[in-house]
Amino acid sequence: MTPGEGGTARDIFHLGGQPGEPAAMPAEAEISRPPSGFELGADRVFRRCTLTVAWLTVLLVFWVVVSIGRQAMPSIRSYGLSFLAGTAWDANRAQFGILPAIVGTLYSSILGLAIGTAFGLAIAIFLSEGFLSSGLDRLLGYMRLSEYSWLHSLPGRVENLLRITVELLAAIPSVVYGLWGIFVVIPFIRPPAAWLNSHLGWIPFFGTNLSGPGLLPASIVLAIMVLPTISAISRDALVAVPPKLREAAFGIGATRWEAILGIFVPTAATGIFGAIILGFGRALGETMALAMLAGNANVISWSLFSPANTLAALLANHFPEADKIEVGALMYASLVLLLITLVVNIVGTVILQRADAGLKGLR
């Protein structure tokens, strides 16, 4: 907002109101009078408040980065870049390295995101492209029930129900996901994992046996956790595809799938990509479920079944009992995590801007 805006608003009010004329209807007169000094003042105060709060948020980020950085400084000085390349976390010998945690964080997040995106996008397409109502139409046609119009509101309701159910997944606490992972997901995927390991063990992804916690169960649970984010935002983006594009697509004779995959999804790609970036952010920072499922072992392996460690889990596990030197190292690790998240978000924003600019003509 510019400082001149208050003045503009007053001008508009002036035009709308007719000062001086006796009011036939008191309500109208009250609406059309110019804003009082108090209202203008309140307006200004409100604007200042929002501005202050907005800047405070930005300041908060800097404050966090600076305070973490200050505590991390001794450890950055003494370990330097070898901290990023080291593979052992041994508080006893003051040896700290977070390479396995970095690799594990990225591996589990990307894998979880890939699974989550596949399902999330499918859900978004299903919920936005009227699959339910077309299916119902056909069903009603077969059953000769088409004339009952109240049935036609059914698909919308079912779609709503499905959407809300998927979004409810976001409300489940992460520790519950962790427990569910230990007691349901791990036993469930153990037999197929054992089969893959014994028959296809030469492929690096299946190179080790799944003993219990590991990357795959962690990624599966992570996928479920990012699913609501991805499906909700992707669905919004698909719904927002301009109607003229839809009509044009079908007008030139595209089949439904051609229209969806060739036109709607690419048009909504900006929003879908935004959804994926948000999901990535959530996956990178997820702590509790991963601390319970990833195995917390400093191992670097291609294998999906190998235990791993993540930065957030490392921090959560070691903070409560850490001594001064270890706290410094943990601060360093959290700085690295912050940096990774920041880079992901910046790259995401830049790509979004590019994609947005390319689509401007369509809007």
Partner 1 sequence: MRIVRGMLALGGAALMGLILATPNGRSGLGSGVAIGAGTITLQGSGATFPAPLYQKWFTEYNKAHPDIEINYQALGSGAGIKQFQQNLVDFGASDAAMTDEEIAAVKQGVVLLPMTAGAIVLSYNLLNGPSELKLSREAYVGIFLGKITQWDDPAIAKSNPGVRLPSLKIQPVVRSDGSGTTFVFTSHLSAVSDAWKNGPGAGKSVNFPAAVAGKGNAGVTALIKETPGAIGYVEYGYAMQTKIPMVALQNKSGSYVKADLTSGKDALASVQLPANLRAWITDPTGAQSYPIVTYTWLLCYKKYSDPDKAAAIKSVVQYGLTQGQSFSVDLGYIPLPPNVVDAVSKALAQIS
Q: How far apart are CA 51 and CA 8, in angstroms?
A: 20
Residue with tokens 């319970």: 292
Q: What are the phi and psi torsion angles at 335 (to 5°)?
A: -65, -40
By CB under 8 A, tell whether 238 contacts partner 1: no
Selected from 197, 298, 301, 303, the binder of partner 1 by CB under 8 A is 298
- For partner 1, the binding residues in 323-342 under the rule CB under 8 A are 323, 327, 330-331, 334, 337-338, 341-342
CB 113 within 8 A of CB 351: no
Bridge partners of residue 215, in order along the sequence: none
Q: How far apart are CA 344 and CA 279, in angstroms?
A: 11
Q: How many CA atoms lie within 13 A of 284 on its CB side?
A: 20
- For partner 1, the binding residues in 170-189 under the rule CB under 8 A are 179, 182-183, 186-187
Query: What SS3 class is residue 217?
Result: helix
Selected from 211, 244, 248, 258, the binder of partner 1 by CB under 8 A is 211
Give me the least distance between CB of 279 and partner 1, in Å please. Answer: 11
- For partner 1, the binding residues in 270-289 under the rule CB under 8 A are 274, 277-278, 281-282, 285
Q: How far apart are CA 220 and CA 178, in angstroms?
A: 11
Selected from 18, 82, 153, 353, the binder of partner 1 by CB under 8 A is 353
Query: For partner 1, which is the closer residue by CB, 140 or 297?
Result: 297
Selected from 45, 88, 170, 200, the binder of partner 1 by CB under 8 A is 88
Taking the alpha carbons at both ends of the chain, their separation in whole angstroms is 25
Angle between helices 99-128 and 324-358 in degrees, nearest 10: 40
Selected from 177, 225, 318, 332, the binder of partner 1 by CB under 8 A is 318
CB 295 within 8 A of CB 210: no
- Binding footprint of partner 1, residue count (CB under 8 A): 62
Which among 116, 104, 58 has a CA at the least distance from the CA of 275? 116
- For partner 1, the binding residues in 246-275 under the rule CB under 8 A are 274
Selected from 349, 354, 359, 362, the binder of partner 1 by CB under 8 A is 349
DSSP string, 191-230: HHHHHHHHHHTTSGGG-S---SS-HHHHHHHHHHHHHHHH
> Tokens representing 246?
């839809």
CB 300 within 8 A of CB 103: yes
Selected from 289, 307, 328, 336, the binder of partner 1 by CB under 8 A is 307
By CB under 8 A, tell whether 21 contacts partner 1: no
Query: For partner 1, which is the closer residue by CB, 254 or 300?
Result: 300
The residues that touch partner 1, with contacts defined as CB under 8 A, are 57-58, 60-61, 64-65, 67-68, 71, 88-93, 95, 179, 182-183, 186-187, 209, 211-213, 274, 277-278, 281-282, 285, 291-292, 295-298, 307, 313, 315-323, 327, 330-331, 334, 337-338, 341-342, 345, 348-349, 352-353, 356
